[in-house]
Structure 1
Amino acid sequence: MNTQPAEVKPDLRVGFVLMNQFTLVPVAGLVDSLRFAADKSFRSHQVYCQWDWMTCNDQPVIASCGMPISPTRPLNLFARYDYIVIAGGLLGETRNPPAWLLDALRDVHAANIPIIALCSASFVLGKAGLLDGRRCAVHFTIREEFQTLFPQAHSVIDKSYVEDRGIITCPGGTAIDLAASLIRRHCGEVRAQKGLEYLLVEERAEDEQQTNRVYQNDRVERAIAFMRDNLDVSLSLKAVADAVGTHPRQLHREFVANTQEPPANYWRKLRLDHARRLLVNTSQNVTTIALASGFSDASHFILWFRKQYGETPYSFRKHRHEVERFNTDRLSERVGMDPEL
């Protein structure tokens, strides 16, 4: 008899807001990638990744291909999501979004919740003023109109997605590149690869992936690269500033302007994300992982890990191993009962 494992806090939670006449393919590519990463086996359980379908009026909407979709929960943009996805499609539905939605998206951005615009939802973010001064990826067929309406945005047509200071724009397509990047960031390389393999997608080169994430300040970009290269070393922020040719105070100002948080916070999150991947993908003990992630000792690491993720490293690893064993046992039982498997 298998015992249901303790509930696991998901690594990635996404709230989809489907606008009427939204384009199905990018939404499907994004959510199917999440589905493969969400469960250790292939049962499509929402364990490591969770998602909700919402609409602007809590009523079913029709995709541009004619498929009706019903929401799974009432609209709530602040239900502890890691990302809010606005799924657009036919321009008639996104050229004139309701004023309350624009206000809500401004509040979401002010709360430092990243927003993803799929397909023509870039028009919605443009109307909200959230693309002013930002680079954004748009479809080549709408670029001229987009530039006319939003001259302060810097639109590009040669990227599968662009991430710029908390706003991610994806012009359409399958959105699988974007999904793989998000999964890699929150769930680790193994689960990102799982989705790519089973969706029969060839992964893009790492340097090409990195060009999709954009900050307007070259010094901030170089500082982040330095931080990533030194996750396992306990260095001061002065060392980071020296590496990019500036002073700590100036680096602090530029980081806040570009990333909306101080460089110390940003570096700590990079370290914690690295540590979380080690907890999932290795058998190293907590002290070893703490030191490999640049923390001075295990106590310091455990304190910050709990603050960031709401549980201790031990609990995080234990719950995931319980789920993996449970899924493996269930799959073994099913194979034993079903001769076709």
Structure 2
Amino acid sequence: MHTLPDVSTVAIAVADGILHFELALAHEFFGSAPPVPVESWYELVICGAGPVRADGRFLLEPDCGLDRLALAETVIVPGWADLEGDPPADLVHAVRAAHEAGARVVSLCTGAFVLAAAGLLDGRRATTHWSYAEALATRFPRVEVDPDVLYVDNGSVLTSAGKAAAMDLCLHLIRLDHGSTIANAVARRLVVPPHRPGGQAQFVATPVPERHDHPLGELLAWAAGRLDRPLTVEDLARRANMSSRHLGRHFRAMTGTTPLQWLLTQRIHRAQELLETTDDSVDAIAEATGMGTATTLRRHFNRTVGVPPDAYRRTFHRQRADGASTSASFPTPTATPPKAAPRPISFGP
């Protein structure tokens, strides 16, 4: 059995005007344990000031009041329907108070408008559904709105684009908390892609081709098998038998990113896997992933994942064959809410 962090509380903040899709999505990701053995999972609670209606039609009875948000380790704000009016003041205040108390606050889709109203996005890069990005930027000019990405991770504040991108962010959170093995198991259960990096474009003009004879199909597999080598754009273009500029256009159309960024993402993923599953030194992993030196690996890894490789290993390293665990637990929160009795979600007319 994998050694995992202590169970953390995930609180979904609700009020009249929330969107039911993002609410149900968060409930599914964090309320259902993965189909593999785990030592602990999230305690999920739904917090609201009283019975609320999602999309104006589904009646929801919260587990507890909005004040419980301040005791949660992660607060999820689902999509918000009324983008012209102000979100309820008690919801905004509770979300702000939760962040001030140390909670990780996450918005799904247009939930970013609630975070922006709480001032949590001021001076920060954030995203939302591409069709509402301009409205978010206009209404909250202190927010650096990026309409082109799936999600943005600022550490204690995270925002996602719409619908499917909200799934990507939920998987990203599970990967941060429990490692890639558990996140991949959850993805398999839900039949969704195991990982799409946050920097991937929200909209890709051409669907990702499945045919092996696509110009980049063989190239991606070829490059993925040579991550230990210092590949350049020219190397990839030569392999694909096209110019570097032509390759760049094909690459962005197919993957939503540039060749070098795609390579870096694959190298980081490989480094995460090696840190989780081997006892190789950081120097050896840097060489195996084409980073060259431990210094280079640490710089890119810290910037991409948010923690140094050594800290990542201490948290996510799998049990060794002799049964001893090298994993470290997450810090115990200073305030742990009492466990609420389970209450069914009531969806009614």
User: Structure 1 length as normaliser, TM-score?
Assistant: 0.59
1:37 to 1:188, Cα distance in 2 relative to 1, 3 A: farther
Shift of 1:147: 1.3
1:111 to 1:72, Cα distance in 2 relative to 1, 3 A: closer
* Alignment root-mean-square deviation, CA: 4.2
Q: 1:63 aligns with which of 54, 57, 67?
A: 54
- Asked if residue 209 in structure 1 is aligned to residue 197 in structure 2, the reply is yes
- Asked if residue 30 in structure 1 is aligned to residue 26 in structure 2, the reply is yes
- Asked if residue 285 in structure 1 is aligned to residue 323 in structure 2, the reply is yes
Residue pair 2:282, 2:309 contacting (<8 A) in 1 also: no
Tell me the amino acid that sits aligned with residue 34 of structure 1: F
Q: 2:314 aligns with which of 269, 272, 284?
A: 272
Q: 1:73 aligns with which of 64, 67, 70?
A: 64
Q: In the aligned structure 1, how far is the partner of 2:177 from the partner of 2:152?
A: 18
1:88 to 1:22, Cα distance in 2 relative to 1, 3 A: same
Shift of 1:26: 2.0
Q: In the aligned structure 2, how far is the partner of 1:184 from the partner of 1:113?
A: 18
Residue pair 2:22, 2:79 contacting (<8 A) in 1 also: no
**What CA deviation, in whole Å up to 9, does each residue of 1:22-67 have, x standing for no partner?**
11112222321234435647xxx99522210111x1x111111611
Q: In the aligned structure 2, how far is the partner of 1:173 from the partner of 1:84?
A: 18
Tell me the amino acid that sits aligned with residue 52 of structure 1: V
**What CA deviation, in whole Å up to 9, does each residue of 1:77-121 have, x standing for no partner?**
132x331011232125x8413445444433332333210112322
Shift of 1:197: 1.7
Residue pair 2:10, 2:43 contacting (<8 A) in 1 also: yes
- Which residue matches 1:155? 145
Tell me the amino acid that sits aligned with residue 271 of structure 1: R
- Which residue matches 1:110? 100
Question: Between the two proteins, what is the percent identity of the paired residues?
Answer: 23
Q: In the aligned structure 1, how far is the partner of 2:146 from the partner of 2:88?
A: 26
SS at match of 2:130: coil
Shift of 1:17: 0.5
- Count how many residue pairs are aligned between Structure 1 and Structure 2: 249
Q: In the aligned structure 2, how far is the partner of 1:284 from the partner of 1:101?
A: 49
Q: In the aligned structure 2, how far is the partner of 1:306 from the partner of 1:188?
A: 12
Matches within 5 A, 1:1-341: 10-38=6-34, 40=36, 48-55=41-48, 57=49, 59-64=50-55, 66-75=57-66, 76-79=68-71, 81-91=72-82, 95-174=85-164, 175-204=166-195, 208-209=196-197, 211=199, 233=281, 243=295, 269-275=311-317, 278-279=318-319, 283-286=321-324, 289-290=325-326, 305=328, 308=331
Residue pair 2:151, 2:160 contacting (<8 A) in 1 also: yes
Q: In the aligned structure 2, how far is the partner of 1:30 from the partner of 1:272?
A: 28
Shift of 1:19: 2.3
Name the structure with the higher helix share.
1
Residue pair 1:36, 1:195 contacting (<8 A) in 2 also: no
Q: In the aligned structure 1, how far is the partner of 2:158 from the partner of 2:101?
A: 16
**What CA deviation, in whole Å up to 9, does each residue of 1:141-175 have, x standing for no partner?**
22222111112212122323221232111233042
Shift of 1:306: 5.9
Tell me the amino acid that sits aligned with residue 308 of structure 1: P
Q: In the aligned structure 2, how far is the partner of 1:99 from the partner of 1:74?
A: 14
1:104 to 1:22, Cα distance in 2 relative to 1, 3 A: closer
Q: In the aligned structure 2, how far is the partner of 1:243 from the partner of 1:306?
A: 26
Residue pair 1:115, 1:168 contacting (<8 A) in 2 also: yes
SS at match of 2:177: helix
Residue pair 2:129, 2:161 contacting (<8 A) in 1 also: yes
1:146 to 1:39, Cα distance in 2 relative to 1, 3 A: same
Tell me the amino acid that sits aligned with residue 243 of structure 1: T
Residue pair 1:14, 1:84 contacting (<8 A) in 2 also: yes
Question: Which segment drifts farther, 148-157 or 183-192?
Answer: 183-192
SS at match of 2:13: strand
Shift of 1:68: 0.9
Q: Which runs of 5+ in 2 are unaligned?
A: 201-263, 284-293, 334-349
Residue pair 2:150, 2:198 contacting (<8 A) in 1 also: no
SS at match of 1:168: strand
SS at match of 1:123: helix
Q: Which runs of 5+ in 1 are unaligned?
A: 1-7, 213-220, 236-241, 245-250, 291-300, 311-341
